[in-house]
Each structure stands twice: as C-alpha cells, then as structure tokens.
Chains A and B, each alone.
Chain A
Amino acid sequence: MSAPADARTDAGATSGAGAVVTLEHVTKRYGPPGTPNAVHDLSLTIRAGEICVLVGPSGCGKTTTMKMVNRLVEPTSGRITVEGRDVMAVPAVELRRRIGYVIQQVGLFPHLTVAENVAVVPQLLKWPRDRIEARVGELLELVGLDASTYAGRYPAAISGGERQRVGVARALAADPPLMLMDEPFGAVDPIRRERLQNEFLRLQDRVRKTVIFVTHDVDEAIKMADRIAILQRGGVLAQYDTPDAILARPASEFVERFVGADRGLKRLSLSRVRDLALMEAITVRAGEPRAEVRSRLQRSAAPRYALLVDDANRPLGWVDAHALAGDGSVPPDAATPGAPTLQPETTLRDALSALLASGVQLGVVVDEHEKVLGLVSVDAIGDVLREASPR
C-alpha cells in the first residue's frame, strides 16, 4: 500500500497503477490439524495490471485463495504480499479499503442510492464531499450508466446488469490498485454476461488494475485472463500460465480434462483475424475486360476467385471462372453474393464458424469503412488449430 490513500491522478478513473500480488507457500486449513487443506502450498506471482483468473472445480479453493488476499479469510501458513507488503502486517480494514471487491450477488446496500453505494469507500476514507461527488459521476459514466438517471435510484429499482455495473463502479471508487472479483458475472444471463465481460475488458484496457478473478467457467477464464491459475481439489495449483499456453500445452491430464476436449477450438477464441497474415484479394470492378481478370488470377498464387468490389473498394461478391469465361467486360451483376465479411477484431473461432456456415473457403476481411483489407482462408485458421494440438 505504498500509494497514499488519497492519491488522485488527473486521469481519475484511468490511473493505471496495478499492484503486484504474491502468494508464497500459502496453505489454508479450516479444520483442526490433520483435516484436509482448502488451499495447499500455493505460490503465485500476479503481475501488475494483469487479470489473473483463478479457475477450477468446486472445492478447489479458488474463492478461499482470493479471500485470503483481502483477509476475509486468513491463511494458516505462508505469506501474501500486495505491493510488496505482507497483508497480515496491515490492519484488515485499511487493507480492504485499498482493494476493490466485487461479488456474484453484488451486495449493493439496499438502503443507499446508486450514488451513495458508489461513494461508500471514499466515505470510509473520509474524502471531502465535493471530491466524492465528482468521483461518483465519473465512475457511473465509466461503467456506462447515465449519472443523472441512475445516481438517485435505489438498487431495487434497477436491473440485474445495472446492479452489477454499479458493483464494479463501487469497487473502483477509491481507485484501488487491486480488484478481487468473485464470479462477478455468474448471476446474469449468458447474453448479458457476454456484454458485461466485454465491457469489463474495455474498462480494464483503460484502468489497468491488477485483477484477481474467480470463476468456475473455463470459457470465461480463457476470455478474461491474461494468466490463468487452474486449481484442483484440495487447493493444489495444477497450472499457472497464459490461456494460450494452457490450451496448447496442458501441464497434466487434470488440466487437459478440465479445459475440455475442444481446447483446440477454444484456443481459436484467443486469436483474432488481425493476428493472421492476410492473403491478397484479387479484386475486380464492373466493366473491366474479362481476359485481363483471367490473367491476373492466373498470376496470383492462391485464390481461384476474383472479388467484385464497388468504386469504394467494398466487396460485392465472388466472381467465378465461369462468369469470367469468354470476351467482353465483367457485368455489374456477375458476383455471387453472400461472402462472409470479417473484421480484424473477429476471433478466429467466430471467423471459422462464419466460413463453415456459408460454405466458402475464403472470408473477406474489411476495415471499419467496409473496405477490403484481404482474405482469410479456412486453411489459415486450420494452421492455427494444428499448432494448438501438439500431440
């Protein structure tokens, strides 16, 4: 806790100072000596500004591990440091005020308005009133809630997704360097969960907190994590690595089973179209002589098809060899419509399913103005898949 409690940056919510968290041989046993450990000899270093996801089956000690960081649970042995200081050396209450805390059921205070809920920790830290007010407004905007609409409402009067966002805003209120999140999106429906996850990732891009995130959902872990710690029953660390490394090289049979047989496919969610080397598209505009297009296609290495584009270089559809046979120029209606377009941000998993669904081998990658950037083939995605399956 080296930063003073009232450290305020001009950037406010965007101050990007995450804390390093270390666990050294941490063991937690709830019962008397001789009973099984909830967490067993766990050592981890969580880097500043990273999202570390603790994942594992129930009874693996993931929540216990997280709660030992803010001392809601105290370790039986071992040492935990946050920003280099032993958590047991700091008064628990002070420690917790410097660590954001988000839980599945949110736990908003029903008797306080949204604004008062967000203001809780700043108030505990005795910030001046005007500073709290400014901070609350800033945070509500940050999590995408219009302050004038939501500030005065009580939790009972807002939706589940909105409550969860207020919970995140409340945890960020005092700009803590570390956030603990216990299945934060576990209680919302899948569609809203996806949206909250994306929102949180975008938020994290701005605030760069160190985040310890607990979930039992492997897909959520892969999506959210910079690094995943997989725990198995008895609180034993099975593997701690990046999602990519875990999917590519599971350290044990347990990990392999836990991440699932489709881990190759899962790994595709980690890469995006922009990570691939795009193939050049052979583009053609209406009115060009067919013969010329044929010779261009013959000179090119890969694609057998030409892509008809409009004057702004936006794709209209594929032109096949049949339509290019003979003389004359390419008519404006020569294209077969329906080519799937992909964005650079599309995950390879989504790209693959789009290609498979439309029955073509090539996807057209377009920029935000719909202009053609290049092509992605099923084969190129397949290469990534093969890399993902070492055995």
Chain B
Amino acid sequence: MIEGQPFFRPDWVVNNADVIARRVGEHLLVTVIAVVAGFVISFAIALVVRRYPRLYGPVLAVTGIMYAIPSIALFVLLIPITGLSLLTAEIALVSYTLVILVRNIVTGLRQVPPEVIEAANGMGYTSLQRLRRVELPIALPVIVAGVRIATVTTIGLVTIATLIGMGGLGYLIVNVGIQRRFATATITGVTAVVLLSVVVDLILFEAQRRLTPWARSRET
C-alpha cells in the first residue's frame, strides 16, 4: 500500500469503469470458451461412456488426475509447448472442467429411470431419438448443475490465467493491484470476480428452471 493514499478509492473505480468493463469482458470470454469447449469434449466422452460403460472408471481417473494438477504447474508445463497464449490458458481451463462435466453428464444420463428407457425402446424410438428426446431432457437438471459448478470454478481459475498474460480481472487484481500496491484495483477485481460468478450462476439456474418445468411440479 502506498503511503498517504486511502485504502479504497471509489473515484478510481468510477474513472476507470470502461477499463474494468473491458476486463470483465475478457474474463467472461476466456471463461465461456473454456466451458463451451469443455462441455463439447465432456459430452463426447459421456456418449462414449454411455455406449461403453466400462470406460467410466478409467475416464474418471484420468480427468481426476488432471484436476489434481495445480493450475500454475500446468501453465508452466504447457508454456514450452504452446507458449504464453490463449491456447495454453484454455488447455488448462478446459482440462479442469472435464472432471465436473463428464461426471455430471454421465450421472444425469444414468439416472434416467430404467423403465423410462424400456418404455422408449418399446415404443420404437431409435437410439438417437431416445437420447435427444428422452434421456437428455431428463438428464438436463444434473447436466446444468455441472455446467454451473464448472463455470463458477472456471471464473475463479481465469484469474490465475493472468499469470500467462491473459488479461481479465486477474490483471486488475495482480498486475494493477498487487504489483503496484494499489489495493483499490485488487478489491475491485476480487469483487467483480465474485459478482460475475454469482450473476452467471443465477442466469444458468434460471435457464435450467425454465427448461425443466416438469422438475418443478415434482416438488409440489
């Protein structure tokens, strides 16, 4: 903290609103890319597991190990290969989403009641029709729950991606705040990360509620 300067300067926040907004935008973009890419990969893995259930154990083990690697270590490991790039950041971020998303998509699909599957088969659904019109809709609440956790986790991790020059709110927290001993930037950055997490989570929750009206009537 620089001597003689107030701990928190609201005027800085007001004067730099455009910069903060840009950092939020960067942060969100890196997050969305990671979650979308992670979802696509996880979905493909889950479909393979649906077809070959025996692969589930190994898949969980591999994604679990990836999740256990500290993010900073992973960045360091990747830099020699992919450099200080968005790709490096995304590889790390995506690999962290896998363990959550694969598990939730597989669990969601597996908790479709067997009698529902049998009824669908008996009525003449093709395998793909059954997946699209029966299994995925029923799995949706669990899948969305996974997406929410993955998204919030990723929003937190993107902060660290700043270390390899990815901007975002981490830039405010670390580069502006900590390195220049300017607490206002750090506090603003952290607050923005938390708010962003909460808002995105609420949006996803509301989306799930609207997509699954049947799950609500079950509660009554």
Contact = CB atoms under 8 A, between A and B. Distances in A.
Nearest to A97: B124
B85 interface: no
A124 B129 contact: yes
A101 B116 contact: no
Interface in B100-124: 113, 115-124
B124 A156 contact: no
A157 B217 contact: yes
Nearest to A93: B124
Interface in A102-130: 103-113, 120-121, 124
Contact of B115 (A92, A106, A157): A106
B8 interface: no
A70 interface: yes
Given A109-B138, A110-B138, 16 more contacts: A70-B122, A101-B119, A101-B123, A107-B117, A107-B118, A109-B119, A111-B137, A111-B215, A121-B123, A121-B124, A124-B125, A154-B214, A156-B217, A156-B218, A167-B119, A180-B122
Contacts of A170: 123
A104 B114 CA distance: 12
Contacts of A367: none
13 contacts: A72-B121, A92-B124, A96-B122, A97-B123, A103-B122, A107-B113, A108-B119, A109-B134, A109-B138, A111-B137, A113-B214, A154-B213, A154-B218
Nearest to B216: A154
A72 B115 contact: no
B141 to A, nearest CB: 10
How many residues of A sit at the interface, in one of the four size bands? 20 to 34
B49 to A, nearest CB: 22
A106 B118 CA distance: 10
B220 interface: yes
Contact of A93 (B113, B125, B138, B140): B125
Nearest to B138: A111
A105 B123 contact: no
A255 interface: no
B212 A111 contact: yes
Given A111-B212, A156-B218, A106 B119 contact: yes
A333 interface: no
Contacts of A108: 116, 119
A110 B116 contact: yes
A96 B220 CA distance: 35
Contacts of A121: 123-124
Q: Is the interface of B mostly helix, strand, loop or mixed?
A: helix
Contacts of B116: 107-110
Nearest to A112: B214
A33 B212 CA distance: 48
B115 A103 contact: yes
A303 B170 CA distance: 104
Contacts of A97: 123-124
Interface string B191-220: 000000000000000000000111101101
Q: Which 9 A-B pairs have the closest CB atoms?
A: A107-B119, A101-B122, A96-B124, A97-B124, A105-B115, A107-B115, A156-B218, A111-B137, A154-B214
A224 interface: no
A103 B214 contact: no
A94 interface: yes
Nearest to A110: B214
Contact of A124 (B117, B119, B123, B213): B123
B126 interface: yes
Contacts of B122: 70, 72, 96, 99, 101, 103, 180
Contacts of A112: 214
A270 interface: no
Contacts of A113: 214
Specify which of B122, B126, B137, B138 lies most central, judged by the most chain A CB atoms within 10 Å of its CB.
B122
B98 to A, nearest CB: 27
A95 interface: yes
B123 A96 contact: yes
A112 B99 CA distance: 30
A93 B215 CA distance: 29
Interface string B17-45: 00000000000000000000000000000
Given A95-B124, A109-B134, A103 B119 contact: yes
Nearest to B136: A111
Given A110-B214, A120-B123, A103 B137 contact: no
A104 B113 CA distance: 13
Contacts of A109: 116, 119-120, 134, 138
A200 B57 CA distance: 46
B214 A111 contact: yes
A317 B93 CA distance: 90
Contacts of B137: 111
Interface string A83-94: 000000000111
Contacts of B214: 110-113, 154, 156
Nearest to B219: A156
A38 B194 CA distance: 61
B4 to A, nearest CB: 63
B211 to A, nearest CB: 10
Nearest to A170: B123
Contacts of B220: 157
Nearest to A120: B123
Interface string A183-216: 0000000000000000000000000000000000
